[in-house]
Structure 1
Amino acid sequence: MTEFDVVLRGYDRLAVDSLVQAVDAAGDDQDQIDAAIRKTGRLPVVLRGYHSAQVDAWLARRRAGDSSVGPEPGTPAVELSVVLRGYRPTETDALLATVAAALEGSDPIRRAEALRAITEVQLPVGFRGYDRSQIDAYLRQAAQALRAS
């Protein structure tokens, strides 16, 4: 089953689910996959939908003949919303930069340090900051990716 993160502005979930079902039904027949993608056309963007970068990456992989499911492995998506009471951006951006560098590289020490930073972090909350649930979900997903490798 293909799963994508739900974000504030993303592709319509029903349209994406229908496309995924059509592509999966095509199996490994690249002509049928391409036809299903062309038939769907441009995916509509809605207020709460699937993360567009994840869906686009999945479509690109399917067009290239890669049948792996879900978002790009090891690359948690993060689309940051600013809310009235959220994590302060300065500290959060620093942590996210550390995590992103560890995920992109293969240095085991850097990955261990990023994992430690995730587990020990206590991000300060400010009047206007990043949505805490989005950051927490991203950090859980990043920690899983760091543990997996």
Structure 2
Amino acid sequence: MVAFEVVLRGYDRRAVDALVRAVEAAAGDRDRVAAAVRAAGPLPVVLRGYSPVQVDAWLAASRAAEPDPGSGSGSGPGPGPGPVWAAAVELPIVLRGYRPAETDALLTLVAGAIASGDAARRADALRAIGDTRLPVAFRGFDRAAVDAWLDRAARQLRAG
């Protein structure tokens, strides 16, 4: 069984455990995995549940680990650019932190620029890091963690 961190607001543990059992029972069959995810529907968020970032990353990885029928290589198609960066960014929720909606938008923009080889997108993302002032909310992402991630991203964007 997969172990997920329990956070203040996360996915319902029973629903996730049932989904994990169904996906593991699918044994890599794309259709059965997709059917299990559809049957689970949107996972309910509860006061103390599994970390949504970890659960979403696990789901993306379990889909990506399946063989690509068109490749003939037997190794899965690498994980796509969408959810992969989210697995690397584990941002804790704190009492006073950056508002999640604006933070997610900025992190998505920056991660997309890093993943692309486009110099213009990288320059736009670097400018966005410098120009954006993220609003603080009663419950939001830990400001120190977001700032540290953005600093690392800015260094990576400058390095090309």
Task: Specify which structure has the bigger relative contact order, considering alpha-carbon pairs within 8 angstroms and separated by 6 or more residues.
Answer: 1
TM-score by length of 2: 0.47
